[in-house]
Chains A and B, each alone.
Chain A
Amino acid sequence: MKSKLMTADDVAAQLSDGMTIGIGGWGSRRKPMALVRAILRSPLKDLTLVSYGGPDVGLLMAAGKVKRVVCGFVSLDSIALEPHFRQGRQSGTVELTELDEGMLYWGLLAAAHRLPFLPIRAGLGSGVMEVNPELRTVRSPYPDDEEFVAMPALKLDAALIHLNRADESGNGQYLGPDPYFDDLFCLAADRRYLSCEKLVPTAELTASGPVQSLLVNRMMIDGVVETPHGAHFTSCVPDYGRDEAFQKAYATAAASPEAWAAFRATYLDGSEREYQAAVAA
């Protein structure tokens, strides 16, 4: 089987300015943070992010990489509000496509199925229709005649996801309780990158979990990166939980430019290896 192994920096190098990038996970849970950190180190800019947003969105915004965010929320879960997202919105430096969470799911599903849209009730009557004037509605052709939001496909140039285990050809496995929408992000994207806690031989995948835990297979993945602690500081159960102390330090540092510069210098300005060493210190 062809190996798709690469480094996180290889992934960043395959992306380009202005791309629409979907990021898997949910809030501060199983985010491909090592891939995000690789983008922080790259010259990439003007990205559109599609995400059930957490610190992935916050970090990329803080680094000035983001033109637009497509999301239903950005949150750190145990800390409700993402400080960099708040600052970006309040200073007007980022554009926002604000959607209901279910609409985001439906947009990814439409893209995965190569449909231009899927009908959904969520959004009708809400402010979402007012702040996204490009959204259209559609009427059922059947006797019920009901009106729905025609949620457009959220097509992605690239998808970044993080799973617990993978083999080098791109078969990937989640061992936690929730797949989130990682498979849909991959199916909705032209280029698909999977980082994993641990690279294993294919046979080990079904030895360590039920076959249903194999969330993505190799036709859904273009590049595989082994990044131990690659979701840090978000959770990646059962390998590790969220690093709450670190997340708190991250959120606190965001409060002032000086504190953020110090945080960046300590953790983000170096390589992934240096990041992990600084975290462990």
Chain B
Amino acid sequence: MKLSDVCVVACAEAFRGDGEILASPMGLIPSLGAKLARATFSPGLLISDGEAYLINEGEVEGWMPYRQVFTVVASGRRHVMMGASQIDRFGNQNISCIGPWERPKSQLLGVRGAPGNTINHPTSYFVPKHSPKAFVEKVDMVSGLGYDRGAHEIRVVITNLAVLDFATETRHMRLRSVHPGVNVSDVVAATGFALSIPDSVPQTRLPSPEELEIIQKLDPANDRDGQLPAS
């Protein structure tokens, strides 16, 4: 079982039940996940090509220039899956800069649309390298809102080790499942804050043969494997 395929399926699961909304996955593994979800259990999803076209089964089915994206964001009919250079226990995310904002040690992208996304519609995250550098006590610049700052919904955080969510009374991040071969202690060691850990942590769902076939068809060159750190 390839870890990249497990991650793709976990990303697909994030879009389960979403109906006819704009799915905006950032990066290859989230994109494969959204497309897998549409090909199987979430056929209603609309997916853009990253330019201005909505593409479905190889055909242009609609026009989605940036200004229309912002209208969809505000309407709430969207589920974005973003990256996170840093994320904290409430799901506050940072893609802006590392270090003090006034003069950062490392300038990254900027907040982009993360403030607007997270206040308006469901958000998930894909973090390819689960580490204490990414899972921090406090993010340096709040780009995406956590639950303590008014997030609309942070559905899941998917990493190379696990699936996490916020299904706790306090809205603290919780370990939902670990990927095959990963121990709970591995996740704890790679997280820079105290996770909520249920008594029993299941394994992340494995891809079905049908799903593996679809993933392979979507990414025949196996580019997805290079998206994860070498284990």
Contact = CB atoms under 8 A, between A and B. Distances in A.
Chains A and B bind each other: yes
Interface of A: 26, 52-53, 71-75, 80-81, 85-86, 89-92, 98-103, 105, 120-128, 130-131, 176-181
Contacts of A179: 65, 67
B57 interface: no
A92 B99 CA distance: 13
Contacts of A102: 70, 73-74, 113, 116
A252 to B, nearest CB: 18
Interface stretch (B102-110, B164-172, B186-194, B203-211): B102-110
A135 to B, nearest CB: 12
A197 B146 CA distance: 45
B114 interface: yes
Contacts of A122: 73-74, 113, 115-116, 119-120
Contacts of A125: 115, 119, 142, 145, 149-151
A86 B108 CA distance: 7
Contacts, number: 123
A178 B106 CA distance: 31
B52 A128 contact: no
For the complex of A and B, 3 pairs with smallest distance between CB atoms: A122-B116, A73-B110, A177-B52
B51 A121 contact: no
A102 B70 CA distance: 6
A100 to B, nearest CB: 4
A90 B63 CA distance: 38
A154 to B, nearest CB: 15
B53 interface: yes
Interface centre among A75, A92, A125, A126 (most CB of B within 10 A): A126
B143 interface: yes
A68 to B, nearest CB: 14
Nearest to A93: B103
A105 B67 CA distance: 8
B133 interface: no
A178 B141 contact: no
A180 B53 CA distance: 13
A75 B108 CA distance: 9
A128 B111 contact: yes
14 contacts: A72-B112, A100-B116, A101-B70, A102-B73, A102-B113, A103-B115, A121-B74, A122-B73, A125-B119, A125-B142, A125-B150, A127-B94, A127-B101, A178-B51
